[in-house]
A and B are shown apart, each in its own frame.
Chain A
Amino acid sequence: MWTFKQSHVAGLRAAAAEFGEKTGIQVRIEAYTPDDAYSIKVQSSAMTGDLPDVFEVHSDGEDFVYGAAGIVEDLRGQIPASWNNRFNPAVRRSGTVTQDKYEQSLPATSTSHGAKKGARYSLPFTIGTFGIVYANKAKLAAAGITRPPATWEEFIADLKKTKAKEPRTGGLSLGLKVPSTGLNWIGQPLAFAQLGKDGYESLYGREKSADWGSPKGVKVLGAYDKLTPYWMPGTQTLTIDDADQAFAQGKSAFDVGGTFTLAFLQEAGMRADDILAFGLPAPREGAVKDLALGPIALTGLALNDASPRKDEARKWMRYLSEPDVAARFSKAASDLSATELGAESADVLGPNLARLMATFKGTPENTYNPYDTSFRPPTLDMDEAGAPLIDMSPLRQTGPAQTGLRLRKLIDSYWKEAR
């Protein structure tokens, strides 16, 4: 089995050893990092027929690409309810080409063009969400902050306090060298909280009265722009890992990432007690005041369509979904398994992971769901869309109004291309 996450290796190897003892089936775990290198490795191995039996994929995107190309097995009808019901209800259909996903695959320029409606190309393995803020407790204490901010305005005020206390190391880090991060991890949850579900989805639509260039869109961008004075110097030149590393080294007071960031911070030497983690707070006057961040399947397991050992591979995939195996993996990887761990999950996962899981609890009205992209142009490149935001904040090249117009033009070009 292959994975692209180094933090998963120890947990997977421990599970493989136990699985080998119980069944006699030997599983070898290999990791290829970072993500880009992994993608190219899978691409070239698929061409030469050297793919492993099972491999970890980015859920609900990459798996569809492989499925459309006939590289991975269609698992439809092969996963009994007794297996599928182990997963968190929010991700039980992950890997499935739903009607929305099928429609997005229809343009010839879509990455998943050719995916079959109803097919299931992966099973959920880890879950999580974006928009998780990590704060350095010591820096908060030095600035007189004792609790997580309840609103966006309080968050900005806290940033101001930490920056005032430590002008060079009191700000916010985020890996903006990957331009989509600012939009995906802050801009979108903020827009959802400010405008509500419909207003947020309209930002990517074709109606000029409600898109990013409209007064509503500009208002969201204005709120985002409040971050501008508080970015860590040079954060726009850092990769995601670099930004997390900078936070772990005390170069910033806050860091934004996903649930998966916790594992990296611990690997980088931070102790759980050093960190305060919380979901991105909503604006005081926003349409959604108690913002919840919906869990999505972050990674999944795909079965190589050409595998000569499909039965053994399926047994291994099922073994990984067993609650006790998943719990041990979660603890070892500091990552959230897709398997439901029940009421005891807080004890099993520890306080930090349990706190992150608490950010998932919401209603359909107040839960931002990063998985749902059905309202966006099907081929929209989020890195492309993130670039105008960087020009506004932290680079100060443009203001919210101009950024809104640039986003409108860009999104419109993707709609035109999709026709």
Chain B
Amino acid sequence: MTALGTSSSASTPRTVGAAARPSHRRGTPGSRGREALTGYLFIAPAVVLFAVMGLYIVGYGFLLGFARWNGFAPHWDWVGLDNYADLLWRDPVYAPRVHEAARHTLYVMIAVPVLTVAVSFPLAVALARVKRAQAVLRSVYFLPYVTSGIAVFYAWQYILQPDGAVNYLLGLLGLGSLQEPQGFLGNPATALPTMIVVTVWTEVPVAMLMYLTGLQTIDRGLIEAAELDGAGWWRTQVSVVWPLLRPITAIVVLLTLRSALHGFQTFLIMTNGGPGTHTDVLGLEAYRLAFLSKFAPTLGLAGALGWMLFAVAIVLALINLRALRSRV
């Protein structure tokens, strides 16, 4: 008797594997119905949850993008595509704000992925070579990810203040010329680069872990073959390891792009877009239009901006997917 035949006996519990067999091998129509019902019951909570928390909210947000509403008034004013036009070019108040925030966001979208890869890949390569206390070091470098949250961003804020730890440390090291008397978040020239560094600090742990995982999947034979061909350590990393990890780089870039495009909580807590408007980004602008506009009827503008960010994210994901395909 084959294993297949064994598992189809009435006395043996059905398994996931059994459900994947061709239908003509399954039991009677009645048992198939019960099996399907069981399956539906299992996925029902997720479907209901998605329908309520996902589709409803997504649909509501999409419709909101075509309305003018402050969250209170009994009725929405339907404005069609006005919100999109107002944000992109038409409204003399909102369009300039969005343009400035878009420029800042673009800087973040370029700098964060580049710096994250630049830091996390060498870090992973170095960590992979460490034989002692690798687990401890991995945990140390992973710490920013598990501790990220409001408290950490407040801590950063205090560290970066005029009388904060960074200025103190620079003074202690005799690097007084690098001190920032207004604090690193108080000077328009350093505020956005500082926010980029803090964002990279939160992104590196996961990226580093992904690279580390990737490094462990590389066939040792390839490395040895390169070494036999006379390639040194540097050449091996550049010509063998880095190309093999390109799919991971693509994922890291995608994830960091998403963070750079949608993330705003760091900016909200640490700068609120300031000083002045020098660190205003699109995610923060959308949040402000939705919740911090002192009850102005801008929920629809927030919805429209959210959907535009979503569209950009989809385009970037498709581009990235294409890049990934061509390299694998």
Q: Which of A65, A70, A234, A391 contacts B162 (CB 8 A)?
A: A234
Tell whether, in the assembled complex, residue B72 and residue A43 are in contact, meaning their CB atoms are under 8 Å apart.
yes
Q: How many residues of A contact B (CB 8 A)?
A: 44
User: Which stretch in B133-141, B181-189, B235-243 binds the other chain?
Assistant: B181-189
Task: Tell me if A97 counts as interface (CB < 8 A to partner B).
Answer: no
Q: Which of A39, A178, A234, A414 contacts B182 (CB 8 A)?
A: A234
Using Cβ atoms and an 8 Å threshold, which residues of chain A touch B182? 233-234, 236, 394
User: Which stretch in B23-31, B219-227, B256-264, B290-298 binds the other chain?
Assistant: B290-298
Q: Which of A151-168 contact B (CB under 8 A)?
A: 168
Using Cβ atoms and an 8 Å threshold, which residues of chain B touch A177? 271-272, 274-275
Q: Which of A233, A390, A395 contacts B183 (CB 8 A)?
A: A233
* Residue interface bits B60-86, CB-to-A below 8 A is 1, else 0: 000000001011111001000000000
Known: A68-B73, A111-B295, A395-B188. A417 touches B161 (CB 8 A): no
B191 to chain A, nearest CB (A): 8
Tell whether, in the assembled complex, residue A237 and residue B185 are in contact, meaning their CB atoms are under 8 Å apart.
yes
Tell whether, in the assembled complex, residue A176 and residue B275 are in contact, meaning their CB atoms are under 8 Å apart.
yes
Q: Which of B97, B161, B183, B295 contacts A65 (CB 8 A)?
A: B295
Using Cβ atoms and an 8 Å threshold, which residues of chain A touch B181? 233
Using Cβ atoms and an 8 Å threshold, which residues of chain A touch B97? 384
Task: Tell me if A363 counts as interface (CB < 8 A to partner B).
Answer: no
Task: Tell me if B173 counts as interface (CB < 8 A to partner A).
Answer: no
Task: Tell me if B276 counts as interface (CB < 8 A to partner A).
Answer: yes
Tell whether, in the assembled complex, residue A416 and residue B92 are in contact, meaning their CB atoms are under 8 Å apart.
yes
Tell whether, in the assembled complex, residue A66 and residue B72 are in contact, meaning their CB atoms are under 8 Å apart.
yes
Bound-complex Cα distance A108 to B157 (A):
39
Tell whether, in the assembled complex, residue A108 and residue B77 are in contact, meaning their CB atoms are under 8 Å apart.
yes
Tell whether, in the assembled complex, residue A390 and residue B274 are in contact, meaning their CB atoms are under 8 Å apart.
yes
Task: Tell me if A198 counts as interface (CB < 8 A to partner B).
Answer: no
Bound-complex Cα distance A176 to B296 (A):
22
Task: Tell me if A179 counts as interface (CB < 8 A to partner B).
Answer: yes
Bound-complex Cα distance A379 to B271 (A):
25
A88 to chain B, nearest CB (A): 25
Task: Tell me if A116 counts as interface (CB < 8 A to partner B).
Answer: no
Bound-complex Cα distance A416 to B77 (A):
20
Q: Which of A46, A109, A114, A236 contacts B276 (CB 8 A)?
A: A236
Using Cβ atoms and an 8 Å threshold, which residues of chain A touch B71? 43, 47
Task: Tell me if B91 counts as interface (CB < 8 A to partner A).
Answer: yes
Bound-complex Cα distance A231 to B183 (A):
13
Q: Which of B91, B271, B275 contacts A395 (CB 8 A)?
A: B275
Q: Which of A386-412 contact B (CB under 8 A)?
A: 387-388, 390-391, 394-395, 397, 410, 412
Q: Which of B265-282 contact A (CB under 8 A)?
A: 271-272, 274-277
Using Cβ atoms and an 8 Å threshold, which residues of chain A touch B163? 168, 233
Using Cβ atoms and an 8 Å threshold, which residues of chain A touch B77? 108
Residue of A nearest to B291 (CB): A40
Tell whether, in the assembled complex, residue B277 and residue A69 are in contact, meaning their CB atoms are under 8 Å apart.
no
Tell whether, in the assembled complex, residue A71 and residue B277 are in contact, meaning their CB atoms are under 8 Å apart.
no
Known: A113-B297, A177-B274. A413 touches B73 (CB 8 A): no
Using Cβ atoms and an 8 Å threshold, which residues of chain A touch B68? 108-109
Tell whether, in the assembled complex, residue B72 and residue A65 are in contact, meaning their CB atoms are under 8 Å apart.
yes
Tell whether, in the assembled complex, residue B271 and residue A179 are in contact, meaning their CB atoms are under 8 Å apart.
no
Tell whether, in the assembled complex, residue A36 and residue B74 are in contact, meaning their CB atoms are under 8 Å apart.
no
Bound-complex Cα distance A113 to B292 (A):
18
* Residue interface bits A57-73, CB-to-B below 8 A is 1, else 0: 00001100110111100
Using Cβ atoms and an 8 Å threshold, which residues of chain B touch A40? 291
Residue of B nearest to A236 (CB): B275
Q: Which of B161, B276, B296 contacts A234 (CB 8 A)?
A: B161
Tell whether, in the assembled complex, residue B292 and residue A109 are in contact, meaning their CB atoms are under 8 Å apart.
no
Using Cβ atoms and an 8 Å threshold, which residues of chain B touch A387? 276-277
Task: Tell me if B228 counts as interface (CB < 8 A to partner A).
Answer: no
Tell whether, in the assembled complex, residue A384 and residue B186 are in contact, meaning their CB atoms are under 8 Å apart.
no
Using Cβ atoms and an 8 Å threshold, which residues of chain A touch B294? 39, 61-62, 111, 381
Bound-complex Cα distance A244 to B171 (A):
27
Task: Tell me if B20 counts as interface (CB < 8 A to partner A).
Answer: no
Tell whether, in the assembled complex, residue B93 and residue A384 are in contact, meaning their CB atoms are under 8 Å apart.
yes
Q: Which of A46, A379, A410, A416 contacts B72 (CB 8 A)?
A: A46
Bound-complex Cα distance A168 to B96 (A):
37
Using Cβ atoms and an 8 Å threshold, which residues of chain A touch B73? 68-69, 113-114
Residue of B nearest to A64 (CB): B295
Known: A233-B162, A234-B182, A397-B188. A413 touches B274 (CB 8 A): no
Known: A234-B162, A237-B186, A416-B92. A69 touches B274 (CB 8 A): no
Q: Which 8 A-B pairs have the closest CB atoms?
A: A69-B72, A413-B92, A233-B162, A234-B183, A236-B275, A65-B295, A234-B162, A234-B186
Listed A/B pairs (8) with beta-carbon separation below 8 Å: A39-B294, A111-B294, A111-B295, A113-B297, A234-B186, A237-B271, A379-B296, A417-B93
Q: A interface vs B, CB < 8 Å?
A: 36, 39-40, 43, 46-47, 61-62, 65-66, 68-71, 108-109, 111, 113-114, 168, 176-179, 233-234, 236-237, 379, 381, 384, 387-388, 390-391, 394-395, 397, 410, 412-414, 416-417
